[in-house]
Every structure is written in C-alpha cells, then in structure tokens.
Amino acid sequence: MNWSRTVRFDGIIDDATQRKMSASLPGGSSLQFGAPYVPADRTYGLVQGPASVEPDAAAQALSGARWYEETIIALAVEPTPADALPAIAAPFSPDAGVAGMLECTVLEKGIVVEFQPARSMPSLILNLADVELRRFHGYRKVTLLNPLPTEIIALIAASGLHAAEIGPDRILETLLEQSGVE
C-alpha cells in the first residue's frame, strides 16, 4: 500500500456495517477496523490504498467518517484512582505544548488521546501520564483504539528497542504477507 489514513466514526459500528463499508471502497483500497470503544462511543479504522487510488476517492465512500490527513494513534487511558483523571488530562490538551497532539477527550473514567506518531512517540504520552499518576500512587490501563500500518509499528518498535535498523521490511508478518503465506 502506498498511503494510509486513520478514520474515526462516531458510534459503534457493527460487523455487517463494517463489511458493507469495506466493500464500498475503490478497488485496491482496504479498511481495517479497531475494536469499538464504548465509553467514547467511537470506532476507529485504517484505510490503505495504492498510488492509483486517491485518498479523496476513498473518503467519498466513507462520507460519515472523520478523516485524518495521515495515520494517527488513538489511545484510551483509564487512571486509577479516578481522582487522577483531571491531572492526566491536563498535559494532553492541544494547547499544552505536546507536539502532534490533536485531541484529548475527557470521559467519565478516562481520556482518549489522539496524536501524530511522527511528532510524538507513544512512550512520551505514556510517560507524561505516569508522571501525573505517581503523585496519586496510581496506575493506568491503556488501550490502543486504532489499527496501525506496518510503518508506524516499525517506528514504534525501533524507538522502543533503540534499534534504528528495524523497518517494515524487518517485521515477520509483513514478510509473510508479501510472500503470500497466510
């Protein structure tokens, strides 16, 4: 695939609707859904396509979705104790200064943070939450809400393992997919 975009749907998308949406995309494009996140009443997806299909053509097929200009990461962070919620939400407002922060939605029991992985790594986001949680002697539950393309997975792995040589061509699942093994 030559391009990928994250999409967000308001509401929970059932399996039949997911299949219908996937089938509505232009040829060569694909749509992969993340698990619906009930507390935020959202479902995220990853649209990928070849160079022969413009992202705008795929966007027309999914007109009810919010399209991002790139692949983002959406994380749900649920702190314990609940008193820590305002403290962990504060550093993630788009005006707080974290590069690439797109949105922070405060929910009853947690937050949903959307950010650009090219500008801020997930480790930074989690470390900021942990700094605030230490004041409360708390902990967190984190859920990845959207599927990620292989390039972003490789970027995260390379950063976390301090191994710059890790790329999409070094991920076993990608190599198996390219060779046609299922």
* pLDDT tens profile 20-74: 999 999 989 999 999 999 999 999 999 999 999 999 999 999 988 999 999 999 9
The whole-model pTM stands at 0.89
pLDDT band at 1 (very low <50, low <70, confident <90, very high): low
pLDDT at 26: 93
Give which of 147, 123, 130, 121 is closest to 31, Cα–Cα. Answer: 147
**95 pLDDT more than 90:** no
Q: Is 162 exposed, middle or buried (0-12, 13-18, 19+ CB in 10 A)?
A: exposed
What CA–CA distance (Å, rounded) separates 147 from 145? 7
**97 pLDDT more than 90:** no
pLDDT band at 136 (very low <50, low <70, confident <90, very high): very high
Which tokens sit at 180? 């046609």
**162 pLDDT more than 70:** yes
Beta carbons of 94 and 104 less than 8 angstroms apart: yes
pLDDT at 175: 72
3-state DSSP call for residue 53? Answer: coil
Please give the average per-residue pLDDT across 149-166, as a whole number.
Answer: 83
